[in-house]
Amino acid sequence: MSRFDVKRYGHGSRVPGWDESVDLSKPPATIPDPALTPVPAKLRAAIEQAMTQYPDSKSAAIPALHLAQDYYGWCSPEAIDQVACVMGLTPAYLTSVASFYDIFEREQPRHHARHHVYVCTNISCSLRGGDELYEAMLVAADDDPELNVREFECLGACDIAPMASVDGEYVGPLTEEDIARIVEDVHAGRPVLVDKQLRNRPCAHTEAANAPVRVFEPPRPPATEEVPAPAATEQVPAPAATEQVPAPAATEQVPAPAASEQAQAPAAAAEEPTPKRASRPRKPKTPPPEPAS
């Protein structure tokens, strides 16, 4: 097969079912009944934990489907019903999510593989030999129960085409000689194609590229210089105790007058005569003068 002979379905698309109409004769989708949908306790606890990581629990659909796929090995209709029951969603909604992303297995694999190899065969990788690499990977992993090899619509790394994802590690550009190394590294438990990993490619921000990846860890504040503690100062001795000045001697208290004396005092004050105001002396009247004779 040449790099331009891209395998396609009869209707012109690599993804089957894109032109199929919705069956309106089916009853409306409902949320599975918890009484009729048993869910393993371990899977239920993991899904509920994932739901707490988002403000809207519906946003945990993809992590929940990953949990179901890890538990059963693929996203079977029963697994999707169980996830929908725990999340309070319809199976139709989760099926639309699972059918959109190639990372979800909707067909039961031959075996429950421990390692997943996704070879990109979209336009950029296909034009650079991605289809041949996929065929070579299938041959290298033939009947290997630990490897699950699939072609992938797009992994979003066109700059290193042709490329693949090995257990989530992006590697590329790949050649047919790299296929054997991928299988050897996976079986040996070594990092896959270290010299072709996307994380090890040159980056303008070298400090950020070399920093370890921390998932869901808040950034730490920059380290500050430690300020040395102040030197211990000499303790000033406390002042000597001064001589206490003796308190003044208590003065003799004058006994208060008796109640009868207090009652007579205002009476005596009332009996005293009020001094009269001195009057000015009047001048004697002068008799009128006698008339002249």
Query: Quick one: which of 60, 154, 275 has its CA closest to 163?
Result: 154
CB atoms near residue 61 (< 10 Å): 21
| pLDDT band for position 25 (cuts 50, 70, 90) | confident
pLDDT digits (tens, 9 = 90+) for 190-242: 999 999 999 998 876 666 656 554 433 444 445 555 556 656 655 656 656 55
- Residue predicted with more confidence, 112 or 158: 158
Q: Where are the alpha helices (DSSP H) in the chain?
A: 41-51, 61-72, 77-87, 91-100, 123-127, 130-140, 177-188, 206-210, 259-271
Asked if pLDDT for residue 272 goes beyond 70, the answer is no
CA distance 228 to 33: 65
Q: Where are the domains of the chain?
A: 41-100, 115-205
Q: Which pLDDT belongs to residue 38?
A: 96
Cis bond leading into 173, ω under 30°? yes
pLDDT value of residue 219 = 42
Select the highest-mean-pLDDT range: 14-18, 27-31, 207-211, 273-277: 27-31
Q: What is the pLDDT of residue 12?
A: 52
How many C-beta atoms surround the C-beta of residue 244 within 10 A?
Answer: 6
Task: Pick the most confident of 157-171, 195-209, 246-260.
Answer: 157-171
CATH 3.30.565.10 corresponds to the domain 115-205: no
Give the three-state DSSP class for 160. helix
pLDDT at 108: 84
Across the chain, what does the average pLDDT equal?
79
Nearest to 54 by CA among 65, 66, 63: 63
Distances 120 to 20, 233, 243 between C-alpha atoms, Å: 25, 71, 97
**Inter-residue long-range contacts of 55-61, CB under 8 Å, 24+ positions, other chains counted:** 57/87, 57/88, 58/87, 58/89, 60/87, 61/87, 61/89, 61/93, 61/94, 61/97
The size of the chain, in residues, is: 293
For 77-130, what is each residue's pLDDT tens digit? 999 999 999 999 999 999 999 998 888 988 887 677 788 899 999 999 999 999
Q: pLDDT-derived band of residue 187, with 50, 70 and 90 as boundaries?
A: very high
CATH class held by domain 41-100: mainly alpha
Report the percentage of the chain scoring pLDDT > 70: 62
Of residues 58 and 219, more confidence is placed in 58
